[in-house]
Structure 1
């Protein structure tokens, strides 16, 4: 009896399709996969922080993962910059590149495109994969559905990093914690997407941003705590009540009660014979000290997460932010590239294999990260270089401008024609700036044609040049005949003397005299240059 074909994953392991619809890494109550944990930050000191990081670096990172979660919950700035880095990826619509030009490849690519266009792909799958930026790795379990004609992800579930064990040999392989297996259970193929952002070389658990920010978070936590204690002492002026020598016990009690009420109610009634004085305590220098410390630590966190500080800190100018923005784009491109590697390996390939079988070339998901383009500068460059013969593809220009190719039958934009409805008639150009049609071959710009700048004197010269052959023929024709008939130089010289003594040039002289008179007249009336 022939055996049914089996699916082999990218590592050569057989895939059991019967278990793909089962939830493997679900949390359990009172077991090694509990979702609840105690706080780590409360009472944390430098010794405790060093212990947490040391344990994580040795392969026991559960307390570190709890610390990383609390850091995102407690530190507003860290939460903001980490969220900004994640949104730089999840906020971009992915594109699908087919594995080939044939009909089957296009069909598979269309199915993958429908998969990534689902809202759950960005909100659940991609967002949960990026949780590895802070913690070193992240795990998303795919629950497959086979109720329809094709296999499709029914749900993406984020799995707590504390529910996995790191292999003691390679420091990378993950195994699922189980109460009956000390070393954990191997993760089945096609059900888990494991994202390990490579922010630095080495073990993934030592490359998370939370480990980088941990000490700054602790010192900032101390600074804020001391700042609050400082404000309790110096933030409100001391209230001193004064009573006269003959004040009774009841009067003193009234004054004391009034001083205490001002602390919370900021209002009190006392007899006019009594006096309350507010004593200001000079503590502004200490206040500035704590503020400078927290601002410094926030800037270090920004550098560690975003690679720059210009876009997050107050006081930065637009020009400074534009200069440093390229660093953040570089980081976003690296994050997008690494995230797509995980998507294509752990989700797209299983999806294709389950529905269409193994392929020689698979479609790939790409998250395009582009820098902000200076449209005006780009248009100016194209306007100058294209007339010089530089060939530029329209698709490349559209991609840089962010425009998609027009669909078949779509209405296209064109320059408005003169006299078209809704357009104003063009202004009549001046004589010196009319008809700008031909680009300059040297600079690529447009200049007015010379014929549009002609005045009366130019027209006079043009008319004279149009009759040059008729004016010079009486002189040139006898000269050509003399040259052809002369036998030697002496005969040619004698013939020239005869020509000079005749009236052959009288017509030319008359013509030049007329032109000179007209030019002088144009100059007198201001028509010449």
Structure 2
């Protein structure tokens, strides 16, 4: 704050300092309209009431609908599980920042945002941001930290959607509930995230609107299933009494049969006959309720996750699950891009503008995994294209694999063999080469012969070392298959043999030069 006498927003307009120093605006009130105590419209819900709740929400009164969305998420195990999976799947993705360019000032802007991200403020708020997946929108209130060095968010507080209403004109702009009216959200105090599963009004695009119908019908099914189990899951007890039994004796008999288990009991006189119609296929009839409830759960899985294989066990689950996982990854990328589109202008641009002033371009905030080739494909490409001349920085491969550069003096694993330095000719050959370059006399025959013999011995020794290793494999292998595997694993070093061959080639070249000189001089 001490850096500027006037703070400008990304649009270049001065910012009211109450945006930083003022108290939080969207806080709960004990007796006001922003009560933390919620209603429960899911109690005794009927199709007619549900339709009325949806119509009211589309007309601008979304309180009952938002309370119903909260109820469903709390009461339905399956909906809570799949919706929580989708929220957590995106909220745990990596968050990165890209500078607008390589200019020093743009790099400084990006570094400021990166340093703030390390504080974990955004990580703690991403899950709450994705509350919009179910309800259509979510609101976070920013608590700005304004010390002399920088102005950054100290916290991002989730605010209950029930504390907001939509404007009267478009029915699509959330406004803060007040005692007798509603006010616009502060331009730099709130983050408004919209999650649209369909085009149209924000309040009609949340997944809870569709899921509420499946939840209600499933609730009817579960209630009927509970009644069925109560009636047919326990035996009926019959107590018989004599015609002369007193009322006290009847009461004792009733207590006996009623206290055995459940409510399915009766007492009748022995002279009476009571017939019970037994349900022959009780187990089969119970499957109807289970199948209907499972079918509703699968529809909710498709609604929230786009597929069912990752939540339900099905035939061919492994192969089908891999395909369905791709569908879930598509939703993950879409959710991440939507969150990035919200946070970039409403958070990153403000941080940069408050600290460096308005900019023409701002850093990019990216949420999600980078679209990269699988590691196996990269390794195969390097293995095949490397010998063809493809080059790539080792640091890029380390970053892709998640490895860091080895510290000085650290114990190392792996690495390529050291390159063999081409050997220099022996001192005798160097002397002979200088003599030939000066058109000197023909080298003594005995010197050439001695050098040739020495090179032959070197080559023979180097080749013998390679042959000995191969011979040992064939002598110890039980069969040809084992010998082939052992040969493939040999790490034969041809350095000594290559050295001898290079010396021989150098000598042959020098001898050829000597012969040419002899011919020129007529020797």
Normalised by the length of structure 1, the TM-score is 0.69
Structure 2: distance between partners of 1:51 and 1:382:
63
Question: Which residue of structure 1 aligns with residue 304 of structure 2?
Answer: 305
Question: Which residue of structure 2 aligns with residue 218 of structure 1?
Answer: 216
Change (3 A) 1:379 1:281: farther
* Contact map agreement 1:9 1:189 (CA 8 A) in 2: no
Question: Which residue of structure 2 aligns with residue 36 of structure 1?
Answer: 37
Task: Spell out, residue by residue over 1:436-490, the C-alpha distance to the aligned partner (whole angstroms, 9 max, x if none).
Answer: 69xxxxxxxxxxx9xxxxxxxxxxxxxxxxxxxxxxxxxxxxxxxxxxxxxxxxx
Alignment of 1:257-406 (within 5 A): 257-263=255-261, 281-282=279-280, 283-315=282-314, 317-369=317-369, 375-376=375-376, 379-388=379-388, 401=401, 403-406=402-405
Alignment of 1:25-104 (within 5 A): 25-104=26-105
Change (3 A) 1:242 1:226: same
Question: Which residue of structure 1 aligns with residue 119 of structure 2?
Answer: 118
Structure 1: distance between partners of 2:108 and 2:406:
20
Is the partner of 2:261 in helix, strand or coil?
helix
Change (3 A) 1:146 1:190: same
**1:71 to partner: Cα distance:** 0.8
**1:77 to partner: Cα distance:** 0.6
**1:293 to partner: Cα distance:** 0.5
Q: Would you say how many aligned residue pairs link Structure 1 and Structure 2? A: 415
Question: Which residue of structure 1 aligns with residue 145 of structure 2?
Answer: 145
**1:110 to partner: Cα distance:** 2.6
**1:165 to partner: Cα distance:** 2.2
RMSD (Å), alpha carbons: 3.7
Structure 1: distance between partners of 2:101 and 2:411:
30
**1:145 to partner: Cα distance:** 2.3
Structure 2: distance between partners of 1:197 and 1:410:
52
Is the partner of 1:95 in helix, strand or coil?
strand
**1:118 to partner: Cα distance:** 2.5
**1:91 to partner: Cα distance:** 1.4
Change (3 A) 1:146 1:382: same
Question: Which residue of structure 2 aligns with residue 522 of structure 1?
Answer: none
**1:191 equivalent in alignment to 2:189:** yes
Structure 1: distance between partners of 2:352 and 2:309:
43
**1:39 to partner: Cα distance:** 0.9
Is the partner of 2:259 in helix, strand or coil?
helix
Task: Spell out, residue by residue over 1:55-105, the C-alpha distance to the aligned partner (whole angstroms, 9 max, x if none).
Answer: 112222111111111111001111111110111111123122223324433
Structure 1: distance between partners of 2:113 and 2:285:
59
Which 10-residue stretch deviates more, 42-51 or 361-370?
A: 361-370
Which 10-residue stretch deviates more, 41-50 or 103-112?
A: 103-112
* Contact map agreement 2:140 2:159 (CA 8 A) in 1: yes
* Contact map agreement 1:227 1:290 (CA 8 A) in 2: yes
Normalised by the length of structure 2, the TM-score is 0.70
Structure 1: distance between partners of 2:123 and 2:111:
18
Q: Which runs of 5+ in 1 are unaligned?
A: 266-277, 419-425, 438-448, 450-529
Is the partner of 1:309 in helix, strand or coil?
coil
* Contact map agreement 1:141 1:156 (CA 8 A) in 2: yes
Structure 2: distance between partners of 1:137 and 1:83:
16
Is the partner of 1:15 in helix, strand or coil?
coil
Question: Which residue of structure 1 aligns with residue 458 of structure 2?
Answer: none
Alignment of 1:157-176 (within 5 A): 157-176=157-176
**1:150 to partner: Cα distance:** 2.1
Structure 1: distance between partners of 2:21 and 2:287:
59
Change (3 A) 1:60 1:12: farther
Ranked by relative contact order (alpha carbons within 8 Å, sequence separation 6 or more), the top structure is: 2
Structure 2: distance between partners of 1:245 and 1:382:
98
Structure 2: distance between partners of 1:412 and 1:320:
44
* Contact map agreement 1:21 1:145 (CA 8 A) in 2: no
**1:177 to partner: Cα distance:** 1.9
